[in-house]
Copies of this chain bind each other. A is one copy, B any other.
Amino acid sequence: MEKRTRVPEPTIARLATYFRCLADLSDQGVGVVSSEEIAFRAGVKASQVRKDLSYFGEFGVQGLGYPVPGLLKRVASILQLDQQHRVALVGAGNLGTALAGFPGFARWNFHILWIFDSSPARIGQEINKVKVEPMSVLPRELPADLGILAVPGHAAEDVAKLLVASGVSALLNFTGAHLHLGPGVSVRNVDLTHELAILAYHAQRLEQ
């Protein structure tokens, strides 16, 4: 086992993919799986799977493969998916509302427990059993580890700072704005228009 090398970010992202594959295999009652099979399902190379897992320990049996239940548990534990996560959502517009009701979150142990918005029309409404609170109560000590930003781009940075001041240490940012935050906060940017733009670029090249 490799000792405490920094784990590459792409490895973490792939681990989530492996988790999903392993959960499927587990549902199907498969007991042991090879890196080759995981790789095929995840769309990567087998050596990549082995390398990724090796950052965290030795989970396989030579000549045989990986015991599915054991590996599933270990990957879940690495990604903290064996724990309940409390999530604060800011922005109860179109997208925020959809995110609040997204069934995939609960299945992965992510629970949106707070929703904030600045629009009087939305404050007080209930979305998925959570009451929308005014943004003006922020910052407020929140026992949440994760935050989701679904506000307009121009408000992004200010709201991000309020969430961080409320105790959130990782943010999922849907605003498209680049956040200038300190090194103590982890950010993942999801920009839906960017994704379509990238596809538009490729579609044009594929049409020729």
| Contact with A176, one of B20, B78, B145, B207 (Cβ below 8 angstroms) | B20
Q: Quick one: given A110-B193, A170-B206, A178-B41, are A200 and B105 in contact (CB under 8 Å)? A: no
CA–CA, A97 and B94, complex, Å: 9
Asked whether A184 is an interface residue with its Cβ less than 8 Å from the other chain, the reply is yes
Proximity string of chain A (164-208) to chain B, C-beta cutoff 8 Å, 1 when within and 0 when not: 000001111000101010001110101111111111111110110
Q: List 22 A-B contacts (CB under 8 A).
A: A15-B197, A17-B178, A43-B178, A78-B201, A79-B200, A80-B197, A80-B201, A81-B197, A81-B200, A85-B196, A94-B101, A104-B176, A104-B192, A108-B197, A110-B193, A110-B196, A146-B196, A146-B203, A169-B207, A170-B203, A186-B203, A190-B195
